[in-house]
Structure 1
Amino acid sequence: MARLLADEQFPRHAVELLRTFGHDVLTIQEAGKAGISDDMVLDFATLENRAVLTINRRDFFKLHKIKPDHAGIIACKDDLVWNRLATNINTVIFPESTLTGKVFRVNRFSSTTA
């Protein structure tokens, strides 16, 4: 299962559901890093070998271009149906042997690897 870091705005309910799927999910708040910038979130996730879970898609797409050597970015559309969000994330990352350097786009009804 994947090692993930949920950024500050990522829904806590989706984090809990991802944990029930067996993923090792740490929130930025649990790490004691609340309030840090997006580039620092990506750096911390990379240091901890965790892919970033975010709904801040635009900023993390830009960061991927600047810092492509990361542990993965899972950029999600904001979805208030947390079960669907967590299930879509799991569906996208489950078959992957590694998330390193990849960007995953998770939408409400379809998902892709960029």
Structure 2
Amino acid sequence: MARLYADEQFPRLVSQLLRNMGHDVLTVQEAGNANLGIPDDRVLAFAISNNRAVVTINRLDFIKLHRASSEHLGIIICTNDSDRPRMATRINEAITTQESLQGKLIRVVRPSS
């Protein structure tokens, strides 16, 4: 399963649901006060230094970071979904089909109504 780093705005319930699915998820809040409110490039740097892929709903900023450099362990950008179990399931499906997340930008979108 994947080692993930959930950024500050990522829904905590989805992090917990991903853990229940077997993923190792560390949240910004759990990583300590030094990580709260830091710029996105530092979020990504922290994830890299801890051998984790970033999971985020902050799509635009992390797309820019990926385009600037694919030297990371994966960025999973998600459309926010109020159906948290569905959101977690879609993330799980998107990442478990990958042999490796390294250097990849993975898009997880909410299904259209």
Which TM-score applies when normalising by structure 2?
A: 0.94
Q: 1:37 aligns with which of 32, 36, 39?
A: 39
Alignment-derived partner of residue 53 in structure 2: 51
Give the alignment of 1:57-72 within 5 angstroms.
57-72=59-74
Give the alignment of 1:1-114 within 5 angstroms.
1-32=1-32, 33-109=35-111
CA separation in 2, counterparts of 1:4 and 1:59?
18
The code of the aligned residue for 1:27 comes to T
CA separation in 2, counterparts of 1:96 and 1:105?
12
Unaligned stretches of 5+ residues in structure 2: none
More helix by share: 2
- Partner-residue secondary structure (3-state), 1:8: coil
Q: What CA deviation, in whole Å up to 9, does each residue of 1:47-70 have, x standing for no partner?
A: 111110100000000000112100
State percent identity of aligned pairs.
Answer: 58
Deviation (angstroms), 1:96: 1.3
Number of residue-to-residue matches in the alignment? 110
Unaligned stretches of 5+ residues in structure 1: none
Q: Which runs of 4+ in 1 moved over 4 A?
A: none
CA separation in 2, counterparts of 1:34 and 1:2?
23
Which TM-score applies when normalising by structure 1?
A: 0.93
- Partner-residue secondary structure (3-state), 1:44: helix
